[in-house]
């Protein structure tokens, strides 16, 4: 997926739904780490899930901020709906923890109510500990609930893509069935 796969209003509707649920839960921020949730919200399929990355969503501001390794910067700027990409790894000394810590302080997230949408497979223990220590008492919820649950209900745009994919698969199956027969080689 990329930002070109859906109209901008689709991504905005997804963000609005997340913000509505955040407001309902009394949250100021949510930190999203699961690549599928980041993909759903931004269109980004950047490969930085092998390193620390997170999407920061405020209930009050429309801008999305994403912390990623610098090698993903150009791809995110060109192919995702993200307002502010905050890279780490400029120099050997740059560390994702330092960039995360600085960003959290700059945004005042350490003094607000923050949820962490954890991803067991994509958030390493070191990064999890770093997030928990950095946020302290501001971290009020850790779960994969808000975005992952919203992704389960498909919009009309998503259903149109599913129907198109199904039609392509059906056509391929019929073409394949028309070519196979007993004793015929591949």
pTM of the predicted model, to two decimals?
0.86
Integer Cα distance of 147 and 58 in angstroms: 14
The confidence score (pLDDT) of residue 76 equals: 87
The confidence score (pLDDT) of residue 18 equals: 96
Domain-wise residue ranges, the chain:
8-152, 154-186
Q: Which residues contact 62 (CB under 8 A, 6 or more apart)?
A: 15, 83
Q: Which residues of the chain have pLDDT under 50?
A: none
Render pLDDT for 84-136 as a digit per residue (tens, 0 to 9): 999 998 775 578 899 999 999 999 999 999 999 877 678 888 888 999 999 99
CATH of 8-152, one of 1.10.1510.10, 3.40.50.720, 3.30.70.3040, 3.40.350.10: 3.40.350.10
Q: What is the sign of the dihedral through the CA atoms of 129, 134, 140 and 145?
A: negative
């Amino acid at each position: 997926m990329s930002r070109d796969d859906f109209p901008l209003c689709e991504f905005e509707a997804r963000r609005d739904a997340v913000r509505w649920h955040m407001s309902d839960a009394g949250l100021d921020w949510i930190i999203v780490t699961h690549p599928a949730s980041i993909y759903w919200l931004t269109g980004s399929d950047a490969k930085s899930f092998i390193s620390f990355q997170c999407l920061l969503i405020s209930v009050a501001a429309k801008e999305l901020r994403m912390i990623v390794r610098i090698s993903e910067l150009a791809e995110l700027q060109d192919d995702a709906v993200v307002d502010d990409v905050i890279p780490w790894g400029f120099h050997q000394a740059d560390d994702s923890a330092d960039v995360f810590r600085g960003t959290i302080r700059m945004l005042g997230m350490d003094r607000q109510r923050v949820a962490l949408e954890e991803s067991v497979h994509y958030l390493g223990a070191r990064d999890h500990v770093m997030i928990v220590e950095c946020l302290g008492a501001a971290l009020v919820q850790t779960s994969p609930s808000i975005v992952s649950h919203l992704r389960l209900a498909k919009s009309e745009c998503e259903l149109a893509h599913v129907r198109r994919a199904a039609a392509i698969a059906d056509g391929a199956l019929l073409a394949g069935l028309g070519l196979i027969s007993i004793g015929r080689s591949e």
